[in-house]
Structure 1
Amino acid sequence: MNLQDILTTQIKSAVKSNFNADLESVEFQATRKEFPGDITVVVFSMLRVVKGNPVQIGESIGNYLVENVNEVEGFNVVKGFLNLEISASYFVEFFNAIKDKTTYGFEDAIAENDAVMVEYSSPNTNKPLHLGHIRNNLLGYSVAEILKASGKKVYKTQIINDRGIHICKSMLAWQKFGNNETPETTGLKGDKLVGNYYVKFDQEYKKEIENLKASGKTEDEAKKEAPILVEAQEMLKKWEAGDEDVVALWSKMNGWVYDGFDVTYKNLGVDFDKLYYESETYLLGKEFVSEGLKSGVFYKREDGSVWCDLTDDGLDEKIVLRADGTAVYMTQDIGTAIQRIKDFPDVGGMVYTVGNEQDYHFQVLFLILKKLGFDWAKNLYHLSYGMVDLPSGKMKSREGTVVDADDLIADMATTAKTISEELGKLDGYSEDEKEELYKTIGLGALKYYILKVDPKKRILFDPKESIDFQGNTGPFIQYTYARIQSILRKSDVDFTVKLDANEVELHEKERELIKQLQLFPDTVQQAAAQHSPALIANYTYDLVKAFNSFYQNVSILGADTKNEIIFRVQLSNTVAKTIKNAFSLLGINVPERM
């Protein structure tokens, strides 16, 4: 039983005994630094059931706790707040209970029959991954790891958007202008090569629009009638009809893209348990559109298109099948969700990591799945996140002004190298060790900078600011971890020894550090419940700040007694393990030396 559980039980007993009242719950908060105490009970919230002066109520409860609870050795009351002073023996016993746990803060899987599937990345196969995809991948991967650490069984997945007009645009442009070039003949990654032809299509499309406008067409007419667009639309129809040549070209170019994506995922450090392809799931979606037509969930308009009327639910009417019978994104997403439950019957909920411009789409998707009668649809969650901006402005894929993911990852390592060399931090490293460390620092800086921000907020990403060895950054936390490893290498402490409170006098900074360690399991659970890696990132920064305050105020290897050295080294080791565990949830590695 943790401290808050112990105190809650005893505070309820105190209120019952002293005031003959029944408390439903007890509210705790951190004690303000200007007052003595380790945890604060909010008395104000009790006034609904306990009548009287809040100071007197606090005094009464405090006296009861000192008399009846071994862990409480003193208290003070400030207005409606009861500040409790916890015994040193409690903190030492707590520390002894966690110090040998390699995965302290993580729960074993406790919900085998209620697994969660987390979708992220989900790119289009007409362009390489860019900065926006990086935030998507980092968020999705981290949320999956956090959910696992909270005790959930998790499947990581993506839906690869490998069909549609955007894919045909790249295919058609390569067919017209590619001269049969390949990744091998150009030396380009396949996703970059295909992305170049997506840009090429847009350039040619714009030229044709201008020509049509010059011949007297309106802009809307020119956009619809541009020959290259009409050809792309015809290509999509041929693809859906199974045209042999079109399907062969589609398979070849998508294969190039997948090879390119795999390299990027490996460099970014993310992975998947199962891949889904829109080219397969849209067919199942069309089947359920037919079923929904029969049951009245959908209706058909005169032009043959199929719609869902959601006006009674405060939304609008949503198309699920075009008049020509081709599928839309909604068709595919319906099919994908249903296929996932067929493949993984233990999945009781899904998390979709998709930017906030798709908020309305997911409102509609979840509602349609409920109307189709799927009980699990109530456990669908859209992990909506804000866009990533750069000082240079907004990115546009079709104009080729995106920040390429591979380039950014490489640039982060280069920036880490420049800053590290300026600071002179890597003396004594071989060149290979330096290069590996630059990658670790650069990638850690990128991931931490993005994940420390609440997912819903928009980010202005500054690569140089992210690689700072001071402040709330990945490198600062990595450096602190490496500093602790240096301490551990210099010590010869037996980590199996358990000291009790009589053998060590607990310093104020040690107490603060243990209190910070106590917060980790609850932080993991809160981060899982809120789907927010930012809680883990900022917890880790607070832990590192507490350790550095301890390091600056307390001698570790030069302590006065052997027991103090043992305890402080063990405490440092547990902090390092917790940093490593927390950063693993963010997909960030920690170096042993820096």
Structure 2
Amino acid sequence: MNLQVTLTQAVKQAVNTVYKAELETVEFQATRKEFTGDITVVVFPMLRVVKGNPVQIGEAIGAFLVDNVDEVKAFNVVKGFLNIEIVDAHYVSFFNTIKDDATFGFTTPKAEDKAVMVEYSSPNTNKPLHLGHIRNNLLGYSVAEIIKASGKKVYKTQIINDRGIHICKSMLAWQRFGNAETPESTGLKGDKLVGNYYVKFDQEYKKEIAALIAEGKTEDEAKKEAPILIEAQQMLQKWEAGDKEVVALWETMNQWVYNGFDVTYKNLGVDFDTLYYESQTYLLGKEFVDEGLKTGVFFKKEDGSVWCDLTEDGLDEKIVLRSDGTAVYMTQDIGTAIQRLKDFPDVGGMVYTVGNEQDYHFQVLFLILKKLGFDWAKNLFHLSYGMVDLPSGKMKSREGTVVDADDLISDMATTAQEISEELGKLDGYTEQEKLELYSTIGLGALKYYILKVDPKKRILFDPKESIDFQGNTGPFIQYTYARIQSILRKAEATLKNDNITLSTINADYTLEDKEKAVLKHLQLFPEVIQNAAQNYSPALIANYIYELVKEYNSFFQNLPIVMGNDDKNSIAFRVQLSKAVGNTIKNAFGLLGISVPERM
């Protein structure tokens, strides 16, 4: 039984026996380092049902626990805090159950449980992926892996925004200025080539606005009447009408972008189980807009546009179909959600990984789906996250001032190379091994730096700060893992020569404080996974593993593992403890999508 469950039952029994009172809950916290103990019971909340001095109440409960709970060795009370010491045998027993378990902390999904669908990436096909997309992909992929580890079946998906006015802007600019160039003729990745024409459209659009203003138009008039924008709007209407020439160009340029995206996803280490395309799901969305018009969920304005009135729900009116009959984002999001539940009836909930600038959009989407009568809409969750900033300022795709994802991934490997060479850590590596390690360190630094931050918070990303072999960074944790593997390799000869077997540790093994500290932290891993899944927060995993690594490094620096250790039992335990920590680092980093090197 879980230690906290055992203690909860015993504390409730103590209060009932001594004070004839019933406790509903028992509050625990980690014992502060300046006090003796392994787990602390907070007495103050008990004063609602138990009258008396908190110290005396703590003393009475502590005495009961020592007499009645095998796991409790001793206690002390500091003000209203009951600090409990746990017998070493409890931690040794725990260790024996997990030391050879390669999947410690992970829960196997139950066949009868509903699945969870996690959406992330969901890019527009008019530009390459950038730093903001990187946070989205890393966050969505990691949340999917964490939910899976918590015991749920998970589908990873994305909606590819492959239609709309922004797509037509790139298409029109390529028609006007592209001279029929292709990814093959230019040597550019397809997504970058198309993105260049999105920027080109904005440049030409601004020129036309300036010219119209010079002719006496207001800025608002000029923005609406610029010929290039009107032509793009007409192209969208032709596309929705199925114009063969427009659709053929759309298919060609989108395929260029898809091919480019695939390269970026592979380099970033993320994948998907299924893909949806706005060009397909918006049609289903339009069908349900028609249904909603009949049932009164939506209404039509004089210009023919269709809206949903959410004012009684504290929101405003939301457009779901333009006056010219073309769809908006909301239309396709309605269709996509419905299509997904049709395709995957075992899905019980969906997580949308989208930046916090879309908070209102998802509030409206979920409410509209409820009004349309879909009961599963109550299980939809918007994983809202903050933007990523750079020291140089905010990014703007249409102005071409974004940090390209491919360039950043490459730059991270280069930065890792520069720092590694300065530290001189790579003697004996082949050139190929060095390149692979630079990539592992660079990507690990990038992913950890982004994922260790609570998703809701905005990030100022500093590449050089992220690749530091000291402190709360990916490379620091990767280095600790590699050190553990080195220890294990070196230990093999000693274990063989001294005939030391890595078998079950005797229950009477006496733990050093540093050993116990590592075991106590290892014991938290399953609970951390569950909490991270419930809160959709990879940051909980990242910061847990950093604390485990700190505890292990303190143990490593203060206690000999093999060299200088003459106690065979101690050697056997410490080698296996190191192996268990290494396994946990690898598993936890796997949940973050981060690889660990066997040596560095």
TM-score when normalising by structure 1: 0.99
Measure the CA separation in 2 of the matches of 1:9 and 1:496: 35
Measure the CA separation in 1 of the matches of 2:502 and 2:277: 51
- Higher mean C-alpha deviation, range 117-126 or range 222-231: 222-231
Contact 1:105 1:524 in 2 (8 A): yes
Deviation per residue, 1:83-108 (Å, 9 max, x gap): 00000111111111111110111110
List, as ranges, runs of 4+ consecutive aligned residues in structure 1 with deviation greater than 6 Å: none
Is the partner of 1:77 in helix, strand or coil? strand
Gaps of 5+ in 2: none
Measure the CA separation in 2 of the matches of 1:516 and 1:248: 58
Contact 2:113 2:152 in 1 (8 A): no
Measure the CA separation in 1 of the matches of 2:364 and 2:152: 27
Indicate the residue corresponding to 2:455 in structure 1: 455
**Given the alignment, which residue of 521, 529, 533 partners 2:534?**
529
Indicate the residue corresponding to 1:14 in structure 2: 14
The answer to whether structure 1 residue 580 and structure 2 residue 586 are counterparts is yes
Measure the CA separation in 2 of the matches of 1:220 and 1:48: 64
**Correspondences of 1:319-358 after superposition (within 5 Å):** 319-358=319-358
**Correspondences of 1:317-466 after superposition (within 5 Å):** 317-466=317-466
Deviation per residue, 1:74-126 (Å, 9 max, x gap): 00011111100000111111111111110111110136441110000000000
Measure the CA separation in 1 of the matches of 2:374 and 2:384: 23
Cα deviation for residue 398 of structure 1 reads 0.5
In structure 2, the CA distance between the partners of 1:345 and 1:159, relative to structure 1 (3 Å rule), is: same
Indicate the residue corresponding to 2:552 in structure 1: 547
**Given the alignment, which residue of 562, 576, 579 partners 2:568?**
562
Measure the CA separation in 2 of the matches of 1:414 and 1:541: 25
Contact 1:114 1:153 in 2 (8 A): yes
In structure 2, the CA distance between the partners of 1:560 and 1:501, relative to structure 1 (3 Å rule), is: farther
Contact 1:55 1:79 in 2 (8 A): yes
Cα deviation for residue 213 of structure 1 reads 1.3
Cα deviation for residue 495 of structure 1 reads 6.7
Cα deviation for residue 158 of structure 1 reads 0.2
Which one-letter code corresponds to 2:161 in the other structure? N
Contact 1:112 1:346 in 2 (8 A): no
Measure the CA separation in 2 of the matches of 1:113 and 1:334: 25
In structure 2, the CA distance between the partners of 1:101 and 1:412, relative to structure 1 (3 Å rule), is: same
Measure the CA separation in 2 of the matches of 1:286 and 1:562: 72
- Higher mean C-alpha deviation, range 569-578 or range 48-57: 48-57
Is the partner of 2:208 in helix, strand or coil? helix
**Given the alignment, which residue of 510, 530, 535 partners 1:505?**
510
The answer to whether structure 1 residue 238 and structure 2 residue 243 are counterparts is no
Cα deviation for residue 23 of structure 1 reads 1.1
Is the partner of 1:61 in helix, strand or coil? helix
The answer to whether structure 1 residue 592 and structure 2 residue 598 are counterparts is yes
Measure the CA separation in 1 of the matches of 2:13 and 2:445: 49
Which one-letter code corresponds to 1:513 in the other structure? V
Deviation per residue, 1:521-555 (Å, 9 max, x gap): 11101100110000000001000000000001100
**Correspondences of 1:6-85 after superposition (within 5 Å):** 6-85=6-85
Indicate the residue corresponding to 1:270 in structure 2: 270
Cα deviation for residue 11 of structure 1 reads 1.1
TM-score when normalising by structure 2: 0.98
Deviation per residue, 1:399-435 (Å, 9 max, x gap): 1010000000000000000000000011110000000
Aligned length: 593
Which one-letter code corresponds to 2:13 in the other structure? S
Measure the CA separation in 1 of the matches of 2:422 and 2:517: 34
In structure 2, the CA distance between the partners of 1:38 and 1:187, relative to structure 1 (3 Å rule), is: same
Indicate the residue corresponding to 1:294 in structure 2: 294
Contact 1:112 1:153 in 2 (8 A): no
Indicate the residue corresponding to 2:520 in structure 1: 515
Measure the CA separation in 1 of the matches of 2:337 and 2:230: 32
Which one-letter code corresponds to 2:554 in the other structure? S
Measure the CA separation in 2 of the matches of 1:125 and 1:495: 58
Cα deviation for residue 16 of structure 1 reads 1.2
Measure the CA separation in 1 of the matches of 2:477 and 2:592: 13
Instruction: Please give the root-mean-square deviation of Cα atoms over the aligned residues, in Å.
Output: 0.9
Indicate the residue corresponding to 1:483 in structure 2: 483
